[in-house]
Structure 1
Amino acid sequence: MKKHNYSAGPSILPQEVLEKAAAAILDFNNSGLSLIEISHRSKDFVAVMEEARSLALELLGLQGKGYQALFLHGGASLEFLMVPYNLMTKAGKAAYLDTGTWASGAIKEAKTFGETVVVASSKAENYTHIPKNYTVPTDADYFHCTSNNTIFGTQMTEFPDLGIPMVCDMSSDIFSRELDFSKFGLIYAGAQKNMGPAGVTLVVLKEDILGKTGRTIPNMLNLQQHIEKESMYNTPPVFATYTSLLTLQWLKNLGGIAEIEKRNNAKAELLYTEIDRNGLFKGTAVVEDRSKMNVTFLLEDESLTEKFDQSWKAADISGLNGHRSVGGYRASIYNAMPIESVQVLVDVMKELERTA
């Protein structure tokens, strides 16, 4: 029996995606060859890359709007570096919103390139909320934000209207809710939280924001090079890209982002309702900024920790522990998490209340 996988990443994937990916490892497209032993220049894999790039834009509503989609190496952490390399001008500056660990990591990289303005931060409150009413400098080369914060369980619900490119790290909530994605000049997302396995990063960008830095960019870090080489400047992460394609196909067949958002809202409501109702638990993020992807909570009475841990593990729940830096619990309820698994966790919480 497959466990109820609440891991924050690498994380749960749809069962049908796992089965198709596993089959492709043995024999891809009835070729007699494994997916991971064919040439990335073969027509079979070129078709995978082309469809993955096209489908990403289609699901985000960005086809025909001047955007390109790339599947690259390096994780979101490499994009912390690639973004200022490709967007910050030599004498310019960038604006960043600090909402958590990964946002602060992006800020650290940007500071190595030039002036980096932190327009607001919730660090002093242990990142329990998203800063509001901040001002973004109009002369910044770009504004960077992180849409969902996996460690602290917060999520942005509003994004500013700006006259400069807006860059967003959507690693943990990409494809999970409807947004006007054309507001963003560049979106990046490590696949392993909501789209595929570890090893590939989706970058979606408007082409006309490139080529303005006045700096020499190494080819491997140059987004224009990756566009010109159709996301195959070097050997791409073949398996991770293919599995991401399968996940995007699964999402489209469900009804796209509109349908998955309804499901995600129902899962989040089910779990947050129990956290708020059950006197043994409390949420860690302010209510208006609660993440619908990563639900973080604590036990009010830590003496119940061992009993609760034994209970959820006995219910075949996996990956519920909070990030090592904050403790507590974190239920990552990404797109592929069925509501039935959320109900199992809620039932365990109710049983703890009954027997405590």
Structure 2
Amino acid sequence: MNALFALISARNLEFVRDKSALGWSLLFPIIIIVALVLVFDDDNPSLYQVGVYGEVHQLEQVKALKHIEIIYYEDLEQAKHKVSRHLIDGLLSGDSYWVNPDSAQGYILEQVISAKLPELKKRAISGKAVRHVEWLLPGIIGMNMMFSALYGVGYVVVRYRRTGVLKRLQVTPLAPWLFLASQLFSRLGATVLSAAIVFVVIALMFDIRPQGNVLLLVLNTLLGSAAMISIGLLVASRTRSDELCNGLLNVISWPMMFLSGIWFSLEGSKPWVRFFADCLPLTHMNDANRAVIIDGAGLLDIGDHLLFLVAIILICLGVASRSFRWD
């Protein structure tokens, strides 16, 4: 028993003396709770989402209705498309409103508008609703890739450093960027291959047929995975402690899990939430994949997403190779 207590005491002292790990274990849950409260706590939740394009004279009357969220659009065709695919419940523009009669939410919203604002002219718009599995699939695959990319390289590099593997590699002609590139390509192949297998299996099970070019899906998935692996390499480039590495990766992965559109759409969310989400690589990968699968988007349509992912890769790998430590 004395040996047991001695080992427990030694491990506790090791943890307490690791100030970075101790700090993360205390700060991380506080940060997560505060962030979730700021993002999701709402005393007046919205039941219907209504798009607005241009000038609407009765807009103040619409805003006065409870549980209706107003989303402003700068492109009328884009807003109509969202109504047709049941992504929003209705659209107001000028003296008209659009609803999809096949949408349950749109039907109820139409009754409200016709009763409260009879002067508005109804314009029906048709379109097939996006199936939940079609919308959910890219996000779930992206989340799985995120965990594989971040933790798959983060822990490995830290373990190499802690066990002296990197110190032995330091005496070879191997440059830091070559070592990081080897980790990137090794993990990239495994991550993308597993994602492709999951996608094919689910697509066959639920008859999901991408509307766009499958090669664009491959390209976007490659860049998205590489971006998240690069972030994992950046975190591990100087970290020696497993606990600190875990804390840093949690701080990166949790916001992406909740704010990258994995489980629900951020359409109409608070501007600062949307801004923060747009800074996350998983958001861009998910948005681009959904655009290709659901809307048949082309290269130019998702070009901004691809450029963002390329920028993340170059910045993270550049900083990681410059700051990399072997010991």
Shared fold per TM-score greater than 0.5 = no
TM-score, normalised to structure 1's length? 0.25
Which structure: larger Rg?
Answer: 2
TM-score, normalised to structure 2's length? 0.27
Query: Which gives a bigger RCO, structure 1 or 2 (Cα 8 Å, sep 6+)?
Result: 1
Bigger share in helix = 2
Bigger share in strand = 1
